[in-house]
Amino acid sequence: MLDIREISKRFGYGNGVVTALHDVSFSIAEGEFFTLLGPSGCGKTTLLRLIAGFSAPSGGALVLDGKDIAGMPPNRRPVNTVFQNYALFPHMTVAQNVAFALEAQGRRREEVVPAVDEMLKLVQLVQLKDRKSSELSGGQQQRVALARALVARPRILLLDEPLSALDMKLRKEMQIELKRLQRETGLTFIFVTHDQEEALTMSDRIAVMSGGRVQQIASPRELYDRPANHFVAGFIGESNFLAVQANGGAVSIGTATVTLAGARDGPLTVMIRPEHVTLGTSLPDALNLTATVTQLVFFGTDTHVHLRLPDGTALVARIQNALHGGRSFNEGEAIAVALPAEALRITAKAEEQA
């Protein structure tokens, strides 16, 4: 539905040129909950503003339903935005805020009133419709911003870190609420966030961005299980990185060796998630090592065991705190560590600035 084709964006002139986006290309499907995820300055907000029409790309095309909209002003695009600070009109009531888009389009009052009522019902704000928007709590303002952006039934709804101003509990509620709204309206959502948990729980697909480039586009599961490179592996979830030597299809640390598909000869970096590190036993098809416990950190549902390998590499294992049969470790103790081959991922270096 939306094709982003080799979009680039540069700011500044002469020697001060900063490239915010390097020829970014991907497609978003109808009805998808698509997330742009990355640290601040990765270009995700720049890309969102290009789609909204607040700035023009330096190159490339934005094709929506077969038409290039890159040069179209924002008020002509069938795209609406939920802003990070909500940007509600402070002099208007909740209902007036929601009605704004329809009135700006010159719709008749008979159309506007029922559409506004329906939207307010959808976001559960009917009882507050005559309240000034400045008199609402953060969560309520968030709902108004959503209703205001949805009322004209845009082809795409853009959400610019809309949950970042809310407290933890409210944020969790709104995550579920957003997902519900998206299902009920069947609209395409493009969501921008730097919060990986938010991205993992809500999205159909995630584009991980860094340094103005897309590092990987995949489903949340795929991103976590098969990160394309070092950056993605480090950004999504927790990871251990290990330097290994590859030789004849096998990787080795010291004397420990295991066969690993896709390992090209030479020095490599492999990644393993803390929950896949097995302690206190050796396993077949695994790198079996010995490590020293340096620190134990209790997290409630599980414990993080910080380890150090003989070569000095730090490693973290996550052990679930089971009711029975859980083994306890002591700091300073030397224990057996098994890294199963099926949990090891070879991670390439991230694509960096050209």
Partner 1 sequence: MILSETSRRWALAMPAVVTIMLFSILPLGVVLFYSFLSPGDFGNVKWILSADGWFSVLFERDIFDDTLMVSDAHLTILGRSVGLSFATTLITLVFGLPTAWFIATRPAAQRGFWLFLITIPFWTNLLVRTIAVQEMIRSEGVFNRVLMALGIIHEPLQMMFTNFAVLLGMAYVFLPLMVLPVYAAIEKFDFRLTEASYDLYASRFYCLRRVIFPLVRPGIIAGSILVFVPALGAYVTPRIMGGGKSMMLGNLIDMQFGQGRNWPLGAALAITLTILVLVALIWYTRLTSGRTERNHG
Nearest residue (CB) to partner 1, 79 versus 335 = 79
Q: Which of 31, 41, 74, 234 binds partner 1 (CB under 8 A)?
A: 74
How many helices (H) and strands (E) in the chain? 8, 20
| Using rule CB under 8 A, residue 33 touches partner 1 | no
What is the smallest separation between the CB atom of 37 and partner 1, expressed in angstroms? 22
Q: Which of residues 244-283 bind partner 1 (CB under 8 A)?
A: none
> How is the beta sheet containing 250-253 ordered, strand by strand?
256-259, 250-253, 240-247, 266-272, 345-346
Per-residue mark of binding to partner 1, 135-174 (x: CB under 8 A) = -------------xx--x----------------------
- Tell me, by CB under 8 A, how many residues bind partner 1: 36
Q: Which of 48, 50, 95, 187 binds partner 1 (CB under 8 A)?
A: 95
CB atoms within 10 A of CB 283: 14
Q: Which of residues 204-233 bind partner 1 (CB under 8 A)?
A: none
Q: Of the ranges 48-56, 194-202, 226-234, 311-319, which one interacts with partner 1 (CB under 8 A)? A: 48-56
Which residue is listed with tokens 């909740």?
Answer: 94
CA dihedral 21, 85, 144, 107 (to 10 degrees): -60
Give the CA angle between residues 28, 30, 34 to the nearest 5°.
Answer: 45
What is the smallest separation between the CB atom of 105 and partner 1, expressed in angstroms? 5
Which residue is listed with tokens 């700006």?
Answer: 104
Nearest residue (CB) to partner 1, 134 versus 201 = 134
Q: Which of 39, 73, 138, 310 binds partner 1 (CB under 8 A)?
A: 73
Nearest residue (CB) to partner 1, 33 versus 100 = 100
Contacts 24+ apart (CB under 8 A), 75-80: 75/104, 77/52, 77/53, 78/154, 78/155, 78/156, 79/51, 79/52, 79/53, 79/154, 79/155, 79/156, 79/157, 79/158, 80/148, 80/149, 80/150, 80/152, 80/154, 80/156, 80/157, 80/158
What is the smallest separation between the CB atom of 335 and partner 1, expressed in angstroms? 55
Q: Which of 81, 203, 216, 278 binds partner 1 (CB under 8 A)?
A: 81
Q: Of the ranges 83-91, 259-267, 284-292, 310-318, which one interacts with partner 1 (CB under 8 A)? A: 83-91
What is the smallest separation between the CB atom of 95 and partner 1, expressed in angstroms? 5
- Taking the C-alpha atoms of residue 94 and residue 88, their distance in angstroms, rounded to an integer, is 9
| Using rule CB under 8 A, residue 85 touches partner 1 | yes
- Taking the C-alpha atoms of residue 282 and residue 260, their distance in angstroms, rounded to an integer, is 17
Q: Of the ranges 20-28, 68-76, 198-206, 256-264, which one interacts with partner 1 (CB under 8 A)? A: 68-76
The alpha helices in the chain, defined as continuous H runs, are: 44-52, 94-104, 109-122, 138-150, 168-185, 196-202, 220-225, 230-235
Nearest residue (CB) to partner 1, 101 versus 174 = 101
Cα R_g (the chain), whole angstroms: 25
Q: Which of 281, 279, 280, 274 is nearest to 318 (CA)?
A: 274
| Using rule CB under 8 A, residue 110 touches partner 1 | no
| Using rule CB under 8 A, residue 96 touches partner 1 | yes
Residues that bind partner 1 (CB under 8 A): 52-54, 73-76, 79-81, 83, 85, 87-93, 95-96, 99-101, 103-105, 112-113, 116-117, 129-130, 148-149, 152
